[in-house]
Structure 1
Amino acid sequence: MPDAKANAGSKKKSCFVVCPIGDEGSTTRRHADWLFHEIIEHVLEAHFTNQFELIRADKIDQPGMIDAQIISHLLDDDLVIADMTELNPNVFYEIGIRHMKELPIVHIVKKGGIIPFDVKLFRAIPYDYADPTELRAARGDLQRALTAVLQPDYKPDNPVIRARGVVKLAESAAPETAVIQQQLSEISRRLSAIENDDVLSIARYGQTRADIELEKFLSKRPPGGTALIVETMDYITEAQLSSLNSYLRDVWRDASENVAIYTFGNLILIKFNDFISDTRRNSMVSAVKSHPHVKNIKIVPAQNA
C-alpha cells in the first residue's frame, strides 16, 4: 500500500468521479452522494491520505461551461472512477472519452446491475449499500484497484486500447491470420447484438434485467391460473429477500397448496395451478402489501398454455 505520510507533502493527484447525479433530493442524487462519500471518499481518506483531490461534476466551483470542464477532467485527470449503474448515456459518453485517452479508469457498478457487452469483459467493482458485508468488500476492492493504478509499471486496459491493437495487427497480418480475425470479429459482433437487445430494452422502456428475465419466463410458461408479481423494495438484502419468500409461501399456502414461487432479482412471481376466488385472492394481496419489504403487486391474468 502507498505510504500516506510520505505523500502528504507532494502535489495531489486528481480523481474525477463519473456517475448519474440527478436532481437535488432525487433517488439518483442520494445514490450518487452515498457512493461518493461512503465508498470513494472513505477509501481515499482511509488509505490514500492527501494523495487525491476528489472531483465530481456538480462540485466544480470554477466558472465556465460545465461540459467543457467535464471533458477537461476526463482528458487530463490522473484517475477516473466511473459508476455504470442505471446505464446513464452521459456516463458512457464520458467513459468513452476516457478510454480514447488511454488513461487509468476504474469501473464500478451496483451489484446486479447491467454491464453492456463492450465493457463487460473488463473488471467492474460491484457494490451494494444495503448489505454491510458488501460495503466492506467494495471498499476493499476499490483500495486494491487504486493501489494497482499507482504502481509505476501500471498500464491501462480498455476496449479502445484493445481495438487499436487489433487494427495494428490487421495491418500487418498474414492472409490466414486475417481470416481468423474476421471470424472472431463476427463472433464478437453477434454476442454484442444478443447482449444489447436486453440493454436497449432497459434504456428504451425503463426495464430492468429482472423485468426481462421474468418476461422471457412467462412467454415460455404462461400462467394457467392466477399469477401475481410481487415487486420488492429497491434496497432489499439477501436475508430480507429470503425472509420475504418464506412469508409469501406461508401466506399463499393458506389459499392453495398448489403454488409455485420464482424469484427474478427484485421481482417474485407467484403462480397458482388451481382456481382461487377473487375474494380470497384480494385478501391475500392485502396481506402481502402490508409487508415492509413489498413495494407493489401486479395481478397477471390466466392464459391458455
Structure 2
Amino acid sequence: MAEDAVAFKEPKTLVCGLIMPISQIDNLPAAHWDEVREIIIKTVEGIGSPRFSARLVSEGDDAGVIHKRIIQNVYTDDIAICDVSGRNPNVMFELGMRLAFDKPTVIIKDDQTARIFDTDVIEYLTYRRDLRYASMEQFRTKLAQKTVATYELSLSDHDKQSFLKSFGTFKVVKLDESSETPDKAMLSMMAQMQRQISRLSNSLPSRRRPATSSPSELDDEIEQLINSPRFPEARLFVRQSKAENPDLNSDNCMEYPELVGQAVSRFPEIVTSPNALRRLVDVSL
C-alpha cells in the first residue's frame, strides 16, 4: 500500500575538495595533473559509504571571484585531499589554510617529492610519479580507505586527527558566516592567520639566516624578474594595488594579506618567497 510505504531519504553526498597542481610544474605538464585528478576523483566518488562528490576547491556553481570561492571551499568542504607533489606554492598556501581551519585533510604526494618538514606529523600517501597502473590501483585502495577513515575520525574523535593539536592548544581560525560578508570574512581570516604565523615565528629559536645576496646576484634576480613573461601583468597588479593602498611599498607589502594572497595565487612563478614579493613591488613602483 502506498500509505504504508516508508519514505526513503537519500543519504547526504559529502564534498571532497581537491587541492593540487593544475598547470606545469616540476617538469610535469598540465596533462599529467589532469590524469592525477581523474584518478583521485574516480577513487573518491567510487567509495560506497559515505558518498562523496569530488572537485577542485577552485570550482563552484557561482560566478564570483575565484579567490573567495577557493577560501570558502577550503573552509566548508567536508574533507580535502591535498597533493603536495612538486611543492606548488598555491597548493602549499591552500593547505596551510585548511590546516589552520583544523579540518580533516588527506595529504598525498608522488615518490619524487621529498617530505615536507612542517607537515611531517601527518601521514602521507605516496604514489608513483609515472602513474604505473598496478601501483596506482594499490594507491587507489589506500586512498579510499584513508579518506573514509579520516572523515569518520573527524566526527568521532577530532583531537586524534587534528594537525594543530599535535603542537599544543590553539584557537582555531574560523570564518564568521553569520555576521560578515564574504569579502570581510576572507580579509579577517587572512589577517588572523598572518598574526598567528607571526607570533609562531617570533616564538621559535633563532636560526642562522642566509647571507644577503651580493649586488651582482641581486641585479641578476631583478633582470630575471623583468624578463619574466608575466612581469607586465604582475607590475600592473602591483600598481593597481598601490592606487587602492597609497601607503603600499616594498617594506610593508607583507602587511597587506589580500595583496599577498592574490600575488601568490596569480603569479606563483614570480612570487616564490616574501623577498620575491618585496622585489616585485620595489621594481613595479
The normalised TM-score by structure 1 is 0.48
Distance 1:102 1:71 in 2: 14
Do the aligned residues in 2 keep the contact of 1:15 with 1:80 (CA within 8 Å)? yes
* Consecutive unaligned residues in structure 1, runs of 5 or more: 1-6, 168-184, 198-204, 206-305
* Matched length: 168
Report matched runs for 1:31-110 at 5 Å: 31-38=32-39, 40-48=40-48, 51-57=51-57, 59-110=59-110
Report matched runs for 1:20-35 at 5 Å: 20-22=21-23, 27-35=28-36
Distance 1:118 1:64 in 2: 33
Partner of 1:160: 164
2:161 counterpart SS class? coil
Letter in 2 for 1:14: V
Distance 1:142 1:8 in 2: 28
Deviation at 1:166, TM superposition (A): 8.0
Distance 1:101 1:81 in 2: 15
Distance 1:107 1:11 in 2: 24
Do the aligned residues in 1 keep the contact of 2:104 with 2:151 (CA within 8 Å)? no
Deviations 1:12-46 (A, max 9, x none): 111110011117xx9442122111112x1221233
Which stretch of structure 1 is more off in the superposition, 55-64 or 109-118? 55-64
Distance 2:85 2:15 in 1: 23
Letter in 1 for 2:62: Q
Report matched runs for 1:1-305 at 5 Å: 9-22=10-23, 27-38=28-39, 40-48=40-48, 51-57=51-57, 59-128=59-128, 129-151=130-152, 152-155=155-158, 157-165=161-169
Do the aligned residues in 2 keep the contact of 1:87 with 1:114 (CA within 8 Å)? no
Do the aligned residues in 2 keep the contact of 1:84 with 1:115 (CA within 8 Å)? no
2:156 counterpart SS class? coil
Distance 2:22 2:120 in 1: 23
Deviation at 1:48, TM superposition (A): 3.1
Name the CA shift for 1:161/1:62 in 2 (closer, same or farther; >3 Å): same
Distance 2:44 2:94 in 1: 22
Distance 2:157 2:146 in 1: 11
Deviation at 1:161, TM superposition (A): 2.8
Distance 1:33 1:154 in 2: 34
Do the aligned residues in 2 keep the contact of 1:20 with 1:28 (CA within 8 Å)? no
Distance 1:112 1:123 in 2: 16
* Consecutive unaligned residues in structure 2, runs of 5 or more: 1-7, 172-199, 211-220, 222-285
1:81 counterpart SS class? strand
More strand by share: 1
Q: Please say which structure displays the higher CA radius of gyration.
A: 1
The normalised TM-score by structure 2 is 0.51
Distance 2:29 2:122 in 1: 25
Distance 1:57 1:89 in 2: 15
Do the aligned residues in 2 keep the contact of 1:16 with 1:81 (CA within 8 Å)? yes
Distance 2:122 2:50 in 1: 29
Deviation at 1:157, TM superposition (A): 3.1
State the percentage of identical aligned residues: 21
Structure 1 vs Structure 2 CA RMSD: 3.5
